[in-house]
Amino acid sequence: MASSVLRALILVIALSLFISSAECLTGDSIIEHSQSVDGGLCFNLIRPCGYNCLEHTAQTNDGFLLGLQRVSSGILNLEIQTSPPVLLLHGLFMGGDAWFMNSPNQSLGFILADRGFDVWVGNVRGTKWSHGHQSLSEGDKEFWDWSWEEMALYDLETMLSYINSKTSSKVFVVGHSQGTIMSLAAFTEPNVVNMVEAAALLSPISYLDHITSKFVLNLVHMYLDEALGLLGMHQLNLKSDILINMIESACDNGNLDCSDMLASITGENCCFNSSRVDVYLEYEPHPSSVKNLKHLFQMIRKGTFARYDYGTIKNLLQYGKLKPPTFDLSKIPKSLPIWMAYGGNDALGDVIDVQHTLKELKSKPNVLFLEDYGHVDFLLSTRAYEDLYENMINFFRSCGNGMSSSF
């Protein structure tokens, strides 16, 4: 008798050891990942919380294999989804995991699934949950030869076409930060915006010349982007030693107090849960390209929302013009419903730059201003549901024409 109880106990412990490499990272059930994070985003982060999740791969016209995850609440069948699709576009140095890192009632990915949305999680080129390139490998410098411009013109178009073909439905788009840069650029293209039902932009960015982030401005003045290019770097991996050293020297030389690193980059976040930093760092930061950083720094230096600037001679070859063509926000159709949320403490999405974007749009977006929100709050605030997401979901409901009102 006792020995069979013991045997059952050993079996349970053995099983839980096998299974414990993936855990729902919520509430008090955080268990350290004893193994490296692979097996996909569904396996690692979403299914352990009791949600349906399937991995998809979509190939861009320039050969990148993007990972997409389709998520629904555990009570719905993914194969017979009829609810409206929504695509989540993460920010710079993040991946699709960004939408699932707090508890299910705080994280947008889970909340939308619980509200019955057909949730599609985007992962741009170069990030961990994307699947590389058809012919190039990460060691090739050509693999990293892109910026947010290609994410807008290739990745977003590919994700939307893919979702469109699977659901025969227009798609709600939610972007945060870089996810809004690529959205706003891509929406100026009729073939892309035609696939979009409505857009919700968290910390919307198209102009960057008023950023107040001391940390980023320091790197801009140091010409970090050029320095990395001179060092022959193409991939931008914030976990690499060389970058950690450079960042430390920026903190020392710039008389910058980097003790509160996050706030000096993003602005003071009202509702950041610092007891979850270990969880966040398990997934972030994801890699990006040096060219992407250069492009972002060009926006900061020049105050333009334009294609990548190669310098006059190469611009002539590339664009037939001395200067790179701009993305004209007034080309975004007035008929596209847009909702935006921006914050008074956001050091990257500055209020003046947001006003600039609003002025150039033909439409009048629904706007939510949160005085005490910093850049990361729009993603990770412990109060995000009450402050933001409820409002966003009501907006989506109000513009879904002919859709089931059950979400």
Ligand X SMILES: *[C@@H]1O[C@H](CO)[C@@H](O)[C@H](O)[C@H]1NC(C)=O
Nearer to ligand X, 111 or 200 (CB): 111
Residue 219 beta carbon to ligand X: minimum distance, rounded to whole angstroms: 30
Give the amino acid at 223. Y
Question: Cα–Cα distance between 169 and 178 in angstroms, integer?
Answer: 25
- Does position 273 interact with ligand X (CB under 6 A)? The reply is yes
Going by C-beta distance under 8 Å and a sequence separation of 6 or more, which residues neighbour residue 208?
296, 299, 300, 303, 348, 353
Catalytic, out of 73, 107, 130, 177: 177
- Does position 103 interact with ligand X (CB under 6 A)? The reply is yes
- Does position 26 interact with ligand X (CB under 6 A)? The reply is yes
Residue 95 beta carbon to ligand X: minimum distance, rounded to whole angstroms: 20
Nearer to ligand X, 280 or 395 (CB): 280
- Does position 275 interact with ligand X (CB under 6 A)? The reply is yes
- Does position 105 interact with ligand X (CB under 6 A)? The reply is yes
Beta strands 366-370 and 338-343 are parallel
Binding map of ligand X across residues 375-404, x = CB under 6 A, - = no contact: -------x----------------------
- Does position 33 interact with ligand X (CB under 6 A)? The reply is no
CA 225 distance to own-chain centroid: 21
Question: Cα–Cα distance between 216 and 251 in angstroms, integer?
Answer: 11
Binding map of ligand X across residues 323-362, x = CB under 6 A, - = no contact: ----------------------------------------
| 177 included as an active-site residue | yes
Beta strands 118-121 and 85-89 are parallel
Q: Find out whether 247 and 293 touch, Cβ atoms under 8 Å.
A: no
Nearer to ligand X, 103 or 318 (CB): 103
Beta strands 65-72 and 52-59 are antiparallel
Cis ω on the peptide bond leading into residue 287 (within 30° of 0)? no
Q: Which stretch binds ligand X (CB under 6 A): 1-9, 121-129, 194-202, 270-278?
A: 270-278
Q: Which stretch binds ligand X (CB under 6 A): 25-33, 58-66, 189-197, 358-366?
A: 25-33
- Does position 4 interact with ligand X (CB under 6 A)? The reply is no
Residue 200 beta carbon to ligand X: minimum distance, rounded to whole angstroms: 21
Nearer to ligand X, 25 or 195 (CB): 25
- Does position 259 interact with ligand X (CB under 6 A)? The reply is no
Per the structure block, which two tokens stand in for 133? 């390139």
Q: Which stretch binds ligand X (CB under 6 A): 20-28, 45-53, 56-64, 65-73?
A: 20-28
Residue 102 beta carbon to ligand X: minimum distance, rounded to whole angstroms: 7
Catalytic, out of 97, 225, 346, 353: 346
- Does position 269 interact with ligand X (CB under 6 A)? The reply is no
Q: Which stretch binds ligand X (CB under 6 A): 27-35, 161-169, 308-316, 357-365?
A: 27-35
Which position among 1, 5, 27, 34 is part of the footprint of ligand X (CB under 6 A)?
Answer: 27
- Does position 139 interact with ligand X (CB under 6 A)? The reply is no
- Does position 23 interact with ligand X (CB under 6 A)? The reply is no
The strand order across the sheet containing 52-59 reads 52-59, 65-72, 118-121, 85-89, 171-176, 196-202, 338-343, 366-370
Catalytic, out of 130, 264, 375, 387: 375
Residue 75 beta carbon to ligand X: minimum distance, rounded to whole angstroms: 18
| 375 included as an active-site residue | yes
Question: Cα–Cα distance between 226 and 129 in angstroms, integer?
Answer: 28
- Does position 276 interact with ligand X (CB under 6 A)? The reply is yes
Using CB under 6 A, list all residues that contact ligand X. 26-28, 30, 103, 105, 273, 275-276, 382
Q: Could you list the active site residues?
A: 177, 346, 375
